[in-house]
Amino acid sequence: MATLRFANGAMGIIEASTAIYPGYLKRIEIHGSAGSAVMEEEDLVKWDFAKKRARDAAIHRQMAETKSGGGGAADPSAIGHHGHTRQFKDVVAAIRKGQSPAVDGPEGRRSVEIILGIYKAAETGRAVQLPLARDPVLKARKTGVGG
């Protein structure tokens, strides 16, 4: 588990495990003082905001229509590939059009940097400031997780 503090003062929590019984779906939750949104696997399952907007009805209809399946939480062979497939198609289309993909290298690096920061904080027991000046040299990389 990691606690994040964003530049604007907002707080966040990242929890991840592959050892939780009985194996729950991948879940992303965003909650704030004006509303909440929740995704399970690739499906938006909650969209609740204090201020209603015209587009909310369309979002709720889309939520009712999409079901991405059970994911790989309890059954690794059920891990879906559709998210990766969409990303590869986007990259190929961007190359053909001479444009940037929706998620380019620097944007992908931000996710990796968060993970490296979490590992560094776990290893040192101290808060880590992002962006990192350089990739940390982590003990687990040298000796393995149990070493």
Predicted confidence (pLDDT) per residue in 88-115, tens digit: 999 999 999 999 999 999 999 999 999 9
Predicted confidence (pLDDT) per residue in 41-73, tens digit: 878 889 999 999 999 988 888 887 767 666 666
Residue 96 contacts residue 86 (beta carbons within 8 Å): no
> Which residue from 119, 122, 125 is spatially nearest to 141, judged by alpha carbons?
119
Q: How far apart are CA 52 and CA 65, in angstroms?
A: 21
- Is 0.75 surpassed by the pTM of this model? no
